[in-house]
Amino acid sequence: MSVIELKPVRERILDAAAERYYAEGIRAVSADKLIAAAHVSKVTFYRHFPSKDDLVAAYLETAAAEEVAAVTTARAEHAGDPSAVLRWYAAMVGGTACRPGFRGCPFINAAAELPKDDHPGRVVIDRHRAWLTDQVAELLTELGVDQPGTRAGQLMMLRDGAMVSGYLGHAPDEVAASLIAAGRAILGRG
């Protein structure tokens, strides 16, 4: 039995979707490509994901769950130290945005391809972005920052820019340091 056959079918399909959607774009990847990459039949594929929209939403839910787990872990490890959590996040963004094969934030990339607000994938993106912005606002509240909701939105814009900066070839430490410096300026702690 091959390693591929040992993974549950749904997981194989999601892995194939994550790899292909991220590398090539959602619209560019056909069901046939994913069926071949996951080594499943069409019947099996459609039993797990009746439509492409279902698969796109599941792909984005998986990506969101990974980020939720990472942020939740960091908040637990740095409980009572919101500055440490924000520095960790900046370093994580810098490292992620500068790794080989990075093509940008999967949520921003997907949003560009899913313009309809009611698309199931877009619903996942909006819900995850709201969750992440709320996490930042909570940390800013712990820091005693004025207008934490507004400032969290501003920091999210910086995060988005840092992702682009890393994609364009800046070093991870440079991206993280710039993100931290710009964040401090927004918070008036520069």
Task: Answer whether 140's CB lies under 8 Å from 158's CB.
Answer: no
The pLDDT assigned to 3 comes to 53
| 1 or 159, higher pLDDT | 159
pTM: predicted TM-score of the whole model, two decimal places? 0.90
Q: Tell me the one-letter amino acid at 98.
A: C
**Calpha distance 85→126 (Å, rounded):** 23
> Is 171:90 a contact under the CB 8 Å cutoff?
no
Q: What is the pLDDT of residues 114-173, one digit of tens each?
A: 999 999 999 999 999 999 999 999 999 999 999 999 999 999 999 999 988 888 877 888
| Percent of the chain whose predicted confidence (pLDDT) is above 70 | 97
Per-residue pLDDT band for 176 (boundaries 50, 70, 90) equals: confident
Residue 130: which residues within 8 A CB-CB, separation 6 or more? none
